[in-house]
A and B are shown apart, each in its own frame.
Chain A
Amino acid sequence: MDIFNNLFPGLYDWINALLHDWFKGAMPADVESVLVSAIMALIVAISAILFMVLMVLIMIWLERKNAARIQDRVGPNRVGPYGLLQPIADTIKMLIKEDIVPTNADKLVHLLAPLVAMAPAVLALAVVPFGKGMTPVDLNIGLLFMIAVGSIGVVGIFMAGYGSNNKYSLLGGMRGVAQVVSYEVPQVLTVVTVILLSGSMSLVKIVDAQGGWFGLQWNILALPVGLIAFVIFYICALAEVNRSPFDLIEGESEIVAGFFTEYSGMKWGLFYLAEYFNFFIVCMFGATLFLGGWQGPILPGWLWLIIKTYALVWLGMWIRMTLPRFRVDQLMKFAWKVLVPVALANLLLTSILIGVYNGIGF
């Protein structure tokens, strides 16, 4: 199993050595080392993005199949075996659709909005521990990096709403921002619980701390606080990426399609892609923070992370197919009157329990 576990780090070392051999003597030593690390960084970034694109394509297919199963339909079954190539057909369709920009839109902001929505999703990949020795950058504050980068996305939602110059877009955009920021508060509060349990903000160290009991010492099992924290985190994650039942910013029966209304073609496709990217990433962080990340018995680490992430993704799909949409007042009330107090209480309980456990001055 070590072969599979070390597959990607081994590949990295091999390419690194190859490049060093290649450039040796052709240039001064300092230029060479900078050039090689830049190329390696580029390779890491591109492979992370390609991995995500693949995962998202699978996820879109899975979502459509799942929805069909729950609603007693067949789902996509024409393109490829079991409709597996359906996401690719969707992509091609989006590529050849005309791009319509309303005449009185703020054209620059309208164009930049999907880019701003998409960019944080890619940037967040920089700190994910994909497996043993497979973290692109082990930042000391990786957890805070992930939260901060995630909070840039709301600017994209606002830009889309404002840039379209349309009532429904503006309303959807403003509601979206209000919703996302409201649910960010309990999320960031509940993540403090994880820091207290692991004693670090480095995602690598957080995963390492969950390695006991044959890789099953997960934060979610630190009862009762871990479980409460996980539930809050997951609810907030669904709301942050605007998944049902929190998808009322694009509620097509109320405000047409929210900030999507004036978007078409690939610009709309980018929003769609960003939504799935964000959902996958937030599930990946959920798996990293609460379900032990890549830790697990027998199977290689990166496979464990994928399995755990898909478990969370599937849970989200199930919830989406089962629950009706919230009303906007219920949504805000739920965030501020239920989640925030519970998160605060959970935080206090955790710090007291840890204090008792460590016997600090008690």
Chain B
Amino acid sequence: MLDRYGLVGIFAVMALIFPVIPLLMAWVVRPKKPNKTKSTTYECGLAFEDFPEQAQNVWVQFRVQYYIFALLFVVFDIEVVFLYPWAVAYDSLGLFALVEMVAFLGILILALAYAWRKGLLEWV
């Protein structure tokens, strides 16, 4: 196992360590003089506490469009996962592989067409 993936593991460890180094360096040399105004949430230069109660809640109500695009993305991502091994093996397969993949893709293109027709691809 290690002879094949050991290096990936080392890269993964380095990927975790590398960004910590500049943060530690900065932690050593930077000044630290917090005050109340400085550490308020940024609100275009206005004092956050003066806001009415409702405006202080940063929780914005997001529209369902976000979810719909994420869903489309998930479905296409999965489709691609099946496409990849097929594409690698394509050279050694026959016409049937092409037909099967066209059927597979065709069904998903239907989904895209449905979303298009229903206006779900519009970001308004």
Binding site for B on A (CB under 8 A): 34, 37-38, 41-42, 44-46, 48-49, 94-105, 114-115, 118-123, 125-126, 136-137, 139, 141, 143-144, 164-168, 170-171, 174, 177-178, 181-182, 184-185, 188-189, 192, 195-196, 199-201, 256, 261-262, 265-267, 269-270, 273-274, 328-329, 331-333, 336-337, 340-341, 344, 347-348, 351-352, 354-355, 358, 360-362
Contacts and interface: CB of A to CB of B under 8 A. Distances in A.
A9 B13 CA distance: 23
Contacts of B95: 355, 360-362
**CB-CB nearest 4 A-B residue pairs:** A361-B95, A266-B26, A122-B15, A118-B19
A185 B21 CA distance: 34
Contacts of A171: 60
Contacts of B124: 329
Interface size class of B (residues with CB under 8 A): 35 or more
B123 A188 contact: no
B20 A115 contact: yes
A102 B39 contact: yes
B46 interface: no
Contact of B39 (A101, A141, A177, A182): A101
Nearest to B19: A118
Given A34-B2, A115-B19, A333-B121, A49 B109 contact: no
Given A45-B11, A340-B112, A355-B98, A261 B18 contact: no
A337 B121 contact: yes
Contact of B44 (A34, A256, A331, A361): A256
A195 B87 contact: yes
A166 B7 contact: no
Given A136-B11, A185-B72, 6 more contacts: A96-B26, A166-B41, A192-B80, A192-B83, A256-B44, A262-B41
Given A185-B73, A344-B109, A352-B98, A125 B11 contact: yes
Nearest to B83: A192
